[in-house]
């Protein structure tokens, strides 16, 4: 089974190499490795060229945001499953894809757990939620997820959703009846504080705009949006390091 790993990057000179090595050092050999660069000008291309003999495909051109770049990778891929490990993110170890292939039951979407790395230096293993709870918002991250290539090619990401296009994809797939499998496996690690993390309140509103509207979702999102507002307020008052410490202990 061929696993396509797609890395999207733009001006990621400082963080791309660790992602590349995380993919190249995997024990599983049947990997298609694709890098999509958004037209970097900071030396990122030099890093890509350093490893280009070990890449299956790479291209550098202007795009319309991260999800547009991810769609480009989907169209170029030829593997059975696709995983997005974007610049700065890494697999948890060198054997995780081999473990995935062993545990995968050929579901349409297969996902595991992940490690969040905080700016304070603290790390926390996050257990992904259940697909049936997607109406509550994101239950897992694309870094820890493998999706059948045929499904991605059929639907792709909605590039009009600048923050939560991955959530919209997974929610749409779920309500259409595709199969999900949750693995008891930590797949990836990445830094907290990405685009969606920095716009937590906006993200919750986007989730609510995507899911089916009913009394249950209205009550849930009324509560969760209020709670998120106060969490963001506390983080601003306490500062990033202390609030990250508290989050890691909760």
Predicted pLDDT of residue 234: 78
Fold of domain 3-193: Spore Coat Polysaccharide Biosynthesis Protein SpsA; Chain A (3.90.550)
List the pLDDT tens digit at each of the 250 positions of the chain. Answer: 999 999 999 999 999 999 999 999 999 999 999 999 999 999 999 999 999 999 999 999 999 999 999 999 999 999 999 999 999 999 999 999 999 999 999 999 999 999 999 887 889 999 999 999 999 999 999 999 999 999 999 999 999 998 899 999 999 999 999 999 999 999 999 988 765 555 888 889 899 899 987 878 889 989 888 988 888 787 777 665 555 555 555 5
Virtual CA dihedral for 154, 158, 163, 169, nearest 10 degrees? -30
d(CA 102, CA 35): 26
φ, ψ of residue 224 in degrees (nearest 5): -70, -35
200-to-75, 90, 171, 197, 231 alpha-carbon distances in Å? 30, 23, 18, 5, 9
Predicted pLDDT of residue 244: 55
Predicted structure pTM score: 0.89
Predicted pLDDT of residue 229: 85
Predicted pLDDT of residue 243: 52
3-state helix, strand, coil split of the chain in percent (to 5) is 45, 20, 35
d(CA 26, CA 22): 7
């Amino acid at each position: 089974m061929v696993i396509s790993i797609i890395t999207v990057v733009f001006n990621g000179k400082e963080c791309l190499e660790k992602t590349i090595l995380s993919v190249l050092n995997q024990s599983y050999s049947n990997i298609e490795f694709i890098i999509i660069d958004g037209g970097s000008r900071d030396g990122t291309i030099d890093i890509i060229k350093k490893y280009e003999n070990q890449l299956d495909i790479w291209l550098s051109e202007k795009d319309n945001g991260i999800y547009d770049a991810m769609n480009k990778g989907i169209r170029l891929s030829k593997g059975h499953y696709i995983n997005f490990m974007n610049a700065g993110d890494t697999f948890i170890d060198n054997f995780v894809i081999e473990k995935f292939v062993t545990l995968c039951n050929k579901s349409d979407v297969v996902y595991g757990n992940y490690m969040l790395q905080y700016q304070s230096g603290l790390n926390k293993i996050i257990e992904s939620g259940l697909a049936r709870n997607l109406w509550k918002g994101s239950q897992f991250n694309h870094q820890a997820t493998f999706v059948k290539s045929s499904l991605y090619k059929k639907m792709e990401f909605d590039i009009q959703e600048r923050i939560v296009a991955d959530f919209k994809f997974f929610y749409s797939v779920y309500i259409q009846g595709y199969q999900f499998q949750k693995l008891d496996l930590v797949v990836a690690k990445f830094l907290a504080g990405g685009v969606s993390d920095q716009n937590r309140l906006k993200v919750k509103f986007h989730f609510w705009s995507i899911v089916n509207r009913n009394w249950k979702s209205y009550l849930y999102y009324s509560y969760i949006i209020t709670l998120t507002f106060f969490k963001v307020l506390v983080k601003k008052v306490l500062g990033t390091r202390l609030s990250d410490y508290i989050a890691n202990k909760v």
